[in-house]
């Protein structure tokens, strides 16, 4: 049970996702990027793994914080280990981020699952073994036939409905797109999607994150006429009072915060202040499965749904272990990318979706990621 080693393996993987200057993903030619797999190992050879960007688990962070907290400890003491690591953040000069807490916590959950031959959502206490997915479309672009026009969004939405999705979320156009942001174009894209898919498919928007209150209000009012289920991150989430104002002035539910710091503590303040109608968490955003569950349970106490940000196994297990969440966010999707192709370092999808739009939680132990260890070794760089 005792943790004896924490190892980081960095390897090359091929992807067609490219980040723009604002950090949003768009399709492009295949290129190689580096990915890291964190492994936590015990004295009796049990292992847990989780994936992240290499800088999140760079040697400074692992040696100065992670190993000091984990080595010699019982891997089953996840709550105490998470609290101990979180307490290191204050004195870390902002070097120990929530992303690092998340990858460590996920590897500990994966270890617990692999050691007991149990999927994580069953360890937590499962609520369901499948959940409806919404197709989370990439931010708009200026690519011919991509997501450059409202009609492009409408055509792609039709494709997603044929694939089985019962919900679709649009990320609309944002800088560096030359003419973005533009509220009227956002509404045109949403109208084109509603026209294309009809009244029964659930629709949501995740907009330019820095609109003013008045722009966000105009956008929200436009979406109310289109029967959208929620408006997400239309303003800077550092201004909780702006979201309180927006939620007070709109009928369409306001979802958040996704990107705001503060983990479950700050999300409790959003609920208490009425800054959102639906709360939001995400394993990477709040520092792990452990705090994501704290957020879900807190929201449930207020009768509030809490939607989980992001795909991958870690978020799927949280969604499968709670009642107060309607969707799994499957994406990000684009007409020029085949999401179901997965990753070259995983032998199968962690979030397979059937033709009725349900994602089934793999019954493999731990996080259930079907890791190709040989691929990782053959493509390892350090
Ligand atoms: O970088 C981002 O803003 C997010 O990853 C975004 O692309 C998407 O994941 C999101 O906001 N989902 O709600
Ligand atoms: Mg979002």
Across 130-147, average pLDDT:
98
Residue whose Cα lies nearest atom 6 of ligand 1: it is: 24
The domain spans of the chain are 2-117+373-379, 123-360
- Of 50, 28, 53, give the one whose Cα is nearest residue 138: 28
Question: Using a 6 Å cutoff on CB, does residue 310 contact ligand 1?
Answer: yes
Instruction: Supply the pLDDT for residue 164.
Output: 98
Across 139-146, average pLDDT:
98
Alpha carbons 330 and 321: distance in angstroms, whole number: 17
Contact between residue 65 and residue 85 where contact means Cβ atoms under 8 Å apart: yes
Instruction: Give me the residues near ligand 2 (ion), CB cutoff below 5 Å.
Output: 206, 258
- The atom of ligand 1 lying closest to the CA of 310 is 9
Residue whose Cα lies nearest atom 11 of ligand 1: it is: 206
User: What SS3 class is residue 88?
Assistant: helix
| Beta carbons within 10 angstroms of residue 312's beta carbon | 18
Instruction: Supply the pLDDT for residue 263.
Output: 98
Across 179-201, average pLDDT:
98
CATH fold of the domain at 123-360: TIM Barrel (3.20.20)
Query: How much distance in Å is there from the Cα of 327 to the middle of ligand 2?
Result: 13
Residue 357 vs residues 167, 251, 363: alpha-carbon distances, Å: 9, 27, 18
Instruction: Supply the pLDDT for residue 306.
Output: 98
Q: Per CATH, the architecture of 2-117+373-379 is what?
A: 2-Layer Sandwich (3.30)
Question: Using a 6 Å cutoff on CB, does residue 330 contact ligand 1?
Answer: no
Q: Kind of pairing, strands 254-256 and 230-232? A: parallel
| Beta carbons within 10 angstroms of residue 161's beta carbon | 20
- Please identify which residue in the block is written with the tokens 């894209």: 189
Instruction: Supply the pLDDT for residue 295.
Output: 98
Alpha carbons 113 and 136: distance in angstroms, whole number: 29
Task: With cut-offs at 50, 70 and 90, classify the pLDDT of residue 273.
Answer: very high
Residue whose Cα lies nearest atom 4 of ligand 1: it is: 24
pLDDT tens digits for range 121-138: 999 999 999 999 999 999
pLDDT tens digits for range 57-110: 999 999 999 999 999 999 999 999 999 999 999 999 999 999 999 999 999 999
Q: Indicate the average pLDDT of the chain.
A: 98
Question: Using a 6 Å cutoff on CB, does residue 59 contact ligand 1?
Answer: no
Pocket test for ligand 1, best of 20, 21, 24 (most atoms within 8 A of CB): 24
pLDDT tens digits for range 344-367: 999 999 999 999 999 999 999 999
Pocket test for ligand 1, best of 309, 315, 325 (most atoms within 8 A of CB): 309
- The atom of ligand 1 lying closest to the CA of 23 is 1
φ/ψ of 22, rounded to 5, equals -100, 5
Question: Using a 6 Å cutoff on CB, does residue 26 contact ligand 1?
Answer: no
Alpha carbons 246 and 311: distance in angstroms, whole number: 27
Residue whose Cα lies nearest atom 13 of ligand 1: it is: 309
**Cα torsion at 207, 141, 349, 41 (round to 10°)?**
-70
Concatenated DSSP letters for 14-28? Answer: EEEEEE-TTS-EEEE
Concatenated DSSP letters for 123-182? Answer: HH--S-SEEEEEEEEPPP---TTSSSSHHHHHHHHHHHHHHT-SEEEEE---TTSTT---
pLDDT tens digits for range 283-304: 999 999 999 999 999 999 999 9
Instruction: Supply the pLDDT for residue 244.
Output: 98
Residue 243 vs residues 23, 81, 227, 232, 293: alpha-carbon distances, Å: 23, 34, 20, 10, 23
Instruction: Supply the pLDDT for residue 281.
Output: 98
Instruction: Supply the pLDDT for residue 23.
Output: 96
Query: How much distance in Å is there from the Cα of 75 to the middle of ligand 1?
Result: 31
Contact between residue 234 and residue 211 where contact means Cβ atoms under 8 Å apart: yes
Instruction: Supply the pLDDT for residue 378.
Output: 98
- The atom of ligand 1 lying closest to the CA of 331 is 9
Question: Using a 6 Å cutoff on CB, does residue 309 contact ligand 1?
Answer: yes
| Beta carbons within 10 angstroms of residue 94's beta carbon | 7
Question: Using a 6 Å cutoff on CB, does residue 24 contact ligand 1?
Answer: yes
Task: With cut-offs at 50, 70 and 90, classify the pLDDT of residue 310.
Answer: very high
Query: How much distance in Å is there from the Cα of 43 to the middle of ligand 2?
Result: 40
């Amino acid at each position: 049970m005792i943790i004896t080693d924490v190892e980081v393996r960095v390897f090359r993987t091929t992807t067609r996702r490219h980040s723009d200057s604002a950090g949003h993903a768009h399709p492009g030619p295949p290129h190689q990027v580096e990915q890291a797999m964190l492994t936590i190992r015990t004295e009796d050879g049990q292992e847990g793994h989780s994936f992240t960007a290499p800088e999140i688990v760079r040697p400074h962070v692992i040696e100065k914080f992670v190993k000091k907290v984990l080595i010699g400890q019982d891997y089953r003491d996840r709550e105490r280990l998470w609290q101990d690591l979180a307490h290191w953040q204050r004195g870390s000069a902002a070097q120990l981020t929530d992303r690092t807490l998340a990858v460590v916590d996920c590897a500990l959950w994966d270890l617990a699952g692999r050691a007991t031959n149990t999927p994580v959502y069953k360890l937590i206490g499962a609520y369901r073994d499948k959940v409806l997915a919404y197709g989370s479309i990439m931010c708009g672009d200026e690519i011919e036939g991509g997501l450059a026009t409202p009609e492009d969004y409408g055509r792609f939405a039709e494709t997603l409905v044929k694939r089985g999705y019962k919900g679709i979320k649009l990320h609309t156009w944002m800088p560096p797109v030359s003419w973005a942001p533009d509220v009227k174009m956002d509404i045109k894209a949403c109208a084109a999607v509603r026209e294309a898919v009809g009244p029964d498919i659930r629709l949501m928007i995740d907009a330019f994150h820095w609109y003013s209150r008045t722009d966000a209000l105009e956008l929200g009012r436009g979406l109310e006429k289109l029967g959208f289920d929620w408006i997400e991150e239309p303003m800077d989430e550092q201004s909780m009072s702006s979201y309180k104002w927006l939620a007070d002035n709109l009928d369409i539910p306001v979802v958040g915060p996704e990107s705001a710091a503060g983990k479950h503590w700050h999300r409790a303040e959003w609920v208490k202040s009425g800054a959102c109608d639906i709360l939001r968490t995400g394993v990477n955003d709040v520092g792990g499965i452990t705090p994501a569950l704290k957020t879900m349970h807190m929201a449930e106490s207020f009768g509030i749904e809490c939607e989980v940000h992001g795909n991958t196994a870690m978020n799927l297990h949280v969604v499968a272990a709670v009642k107060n969440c309607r969707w799994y966010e499957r994406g990000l999707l684009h007409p020029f990318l085949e999401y179901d192709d997965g990753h070259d370092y995983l032998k199968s999808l962690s979030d397979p979706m059937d033709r009725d739009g349900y994602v089934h939680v793999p019954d493999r132990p731990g996080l259930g990621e079907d890791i190709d260890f040989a691929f990782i070794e053959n493509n390892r760089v350090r």
